[in-house]
Amino acid sequence: MGTAVTAWSIDIEHTCADWFSAPVVHQEAAAGAAAACPVFAGPPSFTLEASVGSANQLDLDLLATGAFGAEVHPDLPIATTWHGLYKQISSRLQGTARRDALAAAAKAQSKAAAVQMMADIASCEEAMDSQGLKPVLHVATVGAQLSSMADISDAMCTAAGVTPSGVRREASEHRPHADALLLVSGSHPVRTLPLLQQFLPGSVAMLRQASQLKQRGVLPQQLQLWAVANPVMEPDASYTEQKVAAGAQVILTQPPLDWARFEAWMEDARRRQLHSAARLLVGFPLLSSAANVTFWGALCGAGGNQQVQQLQQQFAAAEEADKQQQQQQAGKRSQPGPSAFAQQWNSALLQRLQATAGVSGLHLMPITANSKRMALAMAQQGAFTGSAWPLAGKADGSSSSSSSSSSSSSFS
């Protein structure tokens, strides 16, 4: 899986409309949202980030464990250049003919990306069927990137298997369709630049639009709406609360690379009753190397975070120690697989998450072969079963502190 495949993970800008116009979540609405999301029979819930293109055999091995209820298919950025931004803004400032031509080009790009994702879903279903695996729900990521809301709406419809007027497409067209949409602003760096938000739809606006399309009968009523959160970088859970109020039924979080920040965010999410309003699935990347830590830190926008930097140094030191040990044992072939340090760190993180109240489960994001091997070993050992998650979706965290204190000091 390449770096682009986790583009859904970044949702780092907040538009002015996102910040100030969303209502808070009320208890009645929260209960209704949770009841309307039949993704899983009940917490804990586990989802898997899919590889782009043909189904990966290690992914199929993970799905074969039966632990995962859904597979999330990431989007590939549509417009990720400064030129793309220029076209997006200038199209609003130029004459009608020029604006229409640029809009048509952007729409074609957006639709092509959605169609490609449907092809990836079809490839996954075909591979699963050939191996006799039980079906899972498919979640298609729709990223705003630099697209207009009209293009985003068309992409939503394509992923959902309907026309822009809400008519179900023929079985031969863009099938299968997604069971849920993961709506994100995207990873384009210019989304963080000041004064540009007025030109770029954000994730809250996308959720509102999707909810309206469902109300109007354009998008299927059973289509689920998902969103993401970034506990390491967000000061509290207020932005996630806006997303839930706008229609998000499942929240996938960034990896808890800074445990103290994540724990504070979860405490605020519980205070806001978000664990009751939606499923909170924590991103679990199964870190496998120092380079992997660097990748995830950058992807989360947390490359400068002190805890992330210390974690990268710990992985680098462990790799250097392993290298020296291999040199001392010259002539002995090392076995492929994750390092002992990586296994220990990920096991400690798993234990902490299992003991954290309000967490409804995990979204596994293993992008390296060793990460996938660790995930498979955990699944085979029963880590992703209900009995291993006594606090899943619950607000009572009485056992959280004692369990957390026994975890590796690398989280501190």
Higher-pLDDT residue of 105, 147: 147
Q: Are 285 and 252 in contact (CB under 8 A)?
A: no
Residues 129 and 386: their CA atoms lie apart, in Å, by 26
Centre a 10 Å sphere on the Cβ of residue 236 and count the other Cβ atoms it contains. 15
Whether residue 205 is predicted with pLDDT greater than 60 in this model: the reply is: yes
- For the chain, what percent of residues have pLDDT higher than 70? 68
CB 384 within 8 A of CB 378: yes
Mean pLDDT in residue range 198-204: 81
Q: How confident is the model at residue 193 (pLDDT cuts 50, 70, 90)?
A: low
Section 36-55 average pLDDT = 71
Residue 80 CA to residue 201 CA, distance in Å, equals: 15
Please check the confidence at residue 201 and state whether its pLDDT lies above 80: yes
Instruction: Check pLDDT > 80 for residue 53.
Output: no
Whether the pLDDT of residue 44 is over 70: the answer is yes
Backbone angles phi, psi at 301, to 5 degrees: 75, 20
Identify the pLDDT of residue 399. 42
CB contact burial 239-272 (16+ within 10 A = b; e otherwise): bbbbbbbbbbbbbbbbbbbbbebbbebbbbbbeb
* pLDDT number for residue 121: 81
- How far apart CA 320 and CA 339 sit, in angstroms, is 11
The pLDDT value given to residue 303: 85
pLDDT digits (tens, 9 = 90+) for 67-123: 999 999 887 544 334 444 444 444 444 455 544 554 555 556 566 666 777 777 888
Lowest average pLDDT, out of 76-80, 286-290, 404-408, goes to 404-408
Q: What is the mean pLDDT of residues 5-26?
A: 42
- Each residue of 375-386: pLDDT tens digit? 999 999 999 998
Handedness of CA 231, 233, 236, 241 (dihedral sign): negative
pLDDT at 355 over 80: yes
> Is 60's pLDDT higher than 80?
yes
Average pLDDT, the chain: 78
Q: Which of 36-40, 79-83, 222-226 is predicted least confidently?
A: 79-83
Q: Looking at per-residue confidence, does 190 or 176 come out higher? A: 176
pLDDT of residue 363: 97
The mean per-residue pLDDT over the stretch 220-231 comes to 95
| Tokens matching residue 16 | 């002015």
Residue-wise over 358-394: b if at least 16 C-beta within 10 A, else e?
A: bbbbbbbbbbbebbbbbbbbbbeeebbeeeebebbbb
Classified as helix, coil or strand, 197 is helix
Residue for token pair 């997604």? 178
